Chain A
Amino acid sequence: MALAIVFALLAATGWGTSAIFVRLGLQNISSTTGTALSLATGTLLIGAIAFAVHGPGEFALSFTAIGWIALLGLLNYLLGRFLNFNSIRLAGVSRAAPLLAAAPLVAVTLGVLVGGETLEPLIALGTLIIVAGVVLIVTAPEQR
């Protein structure tokens, strides 16, 4: 469990750092090119590590697995990252990044609706706080 938390923190650090580079890079390049370049770089880097760690045998996936992973790629990288980059380009890191933080709320909601979990009081309270935070950010005066 401790290792999972360490990995999650490293994930947060990677994503948080990426947003800054995106903001700097998209001043001169379109978001579609930026997203494609980002995905190409990631595929090469993570693919090389995956091959080194697991070997080519682990890439012999079933059709079911390929189908689900393709859906994941569509959701996360085509839609998610493309919308992410455009949101940062238009609204800036300071407004886009906190709103992107609501992603886990969607994951938890799916857990409740699809996984059959009940709505606990903490969940309701957390939802209200999220809404308050979003309202604060959305209604902040523009400053550049």
Chain B
Amino acid sequence: MHATILGRLNSKPIALGMVLAIMAATAYGSSQFLARQIVTEHAPPLVVATVALFVGFILLTALANKNIVEDRHAPRKAFLFLVLSGIAASSGVAFNYSALSLAPVVVVAPVSSVSPLISLSLAHFFLQQLERITLRIWIGAFLVVGGVVLVTLGSAG
């Protein structure tokens, strides 16, 4: 049964991608709760971000060094995009940890949750050849973000 489920998921990459997105959301949400405890009790946000990023890099490199060797001939533009991604994402992490050191999760979480709206807006302008964003997806995105805002505001009540 396990192999059947995996087989069906692999034949539908978009469905698999969405499952992975939900799993990533679970990992990110858990880490945000954990980060709040760490930056308020153990170390400054930038120090926490640096050490956590380094640990993640070491673990991933140890697990995936074969892929890294095989990708060394990829186009330079791809490397540039991923370096820019690292700068943007890690800046986001540093700002998020800094925000969590100043305010509780129920205040920071709804504000930082608007990132998908920024992604969709940028994708609409810069990724038109790769993706088409329909009105339905826009409505779904706004509902998800709106729901998250309600949940976090409710938890503060």
Contacts and interface: CB of A to CB of B under 8 A. Distances in A.
Q: Do chains A and B stick together as partners?
A: yes
Interface of A: 1, 3-5, 7-30, 32-43, 45-47, 49-50, 53-54, 58-59, 61-62, 64-66, 68-84, 86-112, 114, 117, 120-138, 140-144
Contact of A29 (B33, B79, B119): B79
A15 B94 CA distance: 11
B84 interface: yes
Q: How large is the interface on B (under 10, 10 to 19, 20 to 34, 35 or more residues)?
A: 35 or more
A78 B60 contact: yes
A94 B136 CA distance: 11
Interface in B65-103: 67-68, 70-71, 74-75, 77-96, 98-100, 102-103
Contacts of B13: 90-91
Nearest to B24: A83
| 6 pairs of A and B residues whose beta carbons are closest in the complex | A106-B29, A77-B56, A42-B90, A91-B17, A122-B154, A16-B118
A87 B82 contact: no
Interface string B29-41: 1111111011000
Contacts of A34: 82, 85
Nearest to A38: B86
B118 A17 contact: yes
B150 A129 contact: yes
B31 A75 contact: yes
A37 to B, nearest CB: 5
A85 to B, nearest CB: 9
A123 B130 contact: no
B54 A73 contact: yes
B1 to A, nearest CB: 22
A76 B31 contact: yes
B33 A102 contact: no
Given A20-B123, A21-B82, A65-B42, A77 B28 contact: no
A59 B46 contact: no
Contacts of B54: 43, 47, 73
Interface in B10-35: 13-18, 20-35
A7 to B, nearest CB: 4
B34 A71 contact: yes
Given A8-B112, A11-B95, A130-B151, A50 B47 contact: yes
B79 A25 contact: yes
14 contacts: A4-B102, A7-B98, A22-B82, A32-B68, A38-B85, A50-B44, A79-B24, A81-B89, A95-B17, A102-B22, A104-B110, A104-B151, A105-B147, A140-B140
